A and B are shown apart, each in its own frame.
Chain A
């Protein structure tokens, strides 16, 4: 069974989001990394890039397949996880912690509240 963390918010595209002061940390879920298999390549935006809600901002690739990453909200990138870029297996090993992807500054703080709850996401992946 894939782990869904109660304290996080989610998207139907299998990203998670977590509040860190004024910033939001974004990654992919345990379910997403498990479906992809061994992740071998990660493509992230540059610091300073503006991201549009529901638009692709990068990609995560396993040997078998590629999956676009979608921004959960309108935001500006303030930090990217360069450890995960150089060691993408971190996303498999620790999708909710060392395998985080980007840290962003949201344009509208309310956007975060509109994301899926853990319960919503759990029924999405198990439904």
Chain B
């Protein structure tokens, strides 16, 4: 099993570990609920070094990235980020990614741990006439997510030279403070020259930053952040999952599964239908005309909890299944998402089979919080 460079620090912090996509990752440190609420109210830090980083570089990088991505790339400003999907020709989502525009000739993709090799191979082996190069930088970069309403204030104090005050949401820049501190000691520097990057993005529904730094020094950076501010609390993957469910974000593999397209999950706003072409466009347009599924948020009527894979029923007939489900630490209720057959698009209440009994769930809007 893979471990991140922070494994020994996590062990010292008494983390409980879990296997996730071939990685031995911290599940929680002291308490999932404390970590979850700390991110909602203050600031937490996640080791997400298992995530992958891919760069598309070259004279045609912009048009190529626009071609392999559902959202618009041509309108991105330098440093700007955009969420969307890399689809195959059947419009199945190979991965949901954030693309960062470093320059007209360089685009930086943050990809999911379980997909980094398959996405890299897909891009590398695509038959095309663009003048580009695809680089898998996943072994070079580690990643930290600092999330919560106090993040901006706290990180601005720790990195005063990086002018983060002017870094808007969904933008990326270099961390000058870390360059000054660590660049000279790096044995291996990133070929693209951007060794320390910070983006105002995240996966918790809170404001915050995602920080890309070389694996070689990530332990020092992590300890430096924790030492600089005792309000920053280490958080595990369990809280990351409950936070993203409350925030209404999909997880590739739970949502965005084989045989579906992004429009089956109400994600049309991350697809630029005005673009002349992108891989998967035809199938997505057909699916919009001939809908197969409806994707809903739900809340359990009683205190039960529905989990991923549980059957959804109406009048004793299966009409769909739960894609993600958990107990919401903020709402203190069972919440989740379900994918239902499209004929039930007007449904407001359904049943979920939980072990031997059927429990009532009400359709609710998501995000579940705020």
Contacts and interface: CB of A to CB of B under 8 A. Distances in A.
Contacts, number: 43
Interface string B21-41: 000000110011100100000
A63 interface: yes
A63 B242 CA distance: 8
A41 B304 contact: yes
Contacts of A52: none
Nearest to A35: B16
Contact of A38 (B16, B33, B303): B33
B173 to A, nearest CB: 35
A59 B359 CA distance: 15
Interface residues of B, number: 20
Interface in A46-73: 56, 59, 61-64, 66, 68
Nearest to B326: A63
Contacts of B305: 40-41, 61, 66
B271 to A, nearest CB: 33
Central interface residue in B33, B36, B241, by most chain A CB within 10 Å: B33
B370 interface: no
A59 B304 CA distance: 11
A79 interface: no
Contacts of B238: 37, 63-64
Interface string B328-342: 010010100000000
A38 B304 contact: no
A105 to B, nearest CB: 22
Nearest to B33: A38
B19 to A, nearest CB: 13
Contacts of B242: 63-64
Nearest to B333: A40
B101 interface: no
Contact of B355 (A40, A43, A62, A64): A43
Given A38-B33, A40-B305, A41-B305, A61 B28 contact: no
B117 to A, nearest CB: 27
A61 B31 CA distance: 15
Contacts of B64: none
Contact of B329 (A35, A56, A59, A63): A63
Nearest to B300: A41
A43 B355 CA distance: 10
Nearest to B34: A38
Contacts of B28: 37, 64
Contact of A41 (B33, B36, B327): B327
A37 B28 CA distance: 9
Nearest to A85: B303
B200 interface: no
The 5 closest A-B pairs by CB, nearest first: A63-B327, A64-B238, A40-B327, A63-B32, A37-B32
Interface of B: 16, 27-28, 31-33, 36, 238, 241-242, 303-305, 307, 326-327, 329, 332, 334, 355
27 contacts: A37-B28, A37-B31, A37-B32, A37-B238, A38-B31, A38-B33, A40-B305, A40-B327, A40-B332, A41-B305, A41-B334, A43-B304, A59-B355, A62-B32, A63-B32, A63-B33, A63-B36, A63-B238, A63-B242, A63-B326, A63-B327, A63-B329, A64-B27, A64-B32, A64-B238, A64-B241, A68-B355
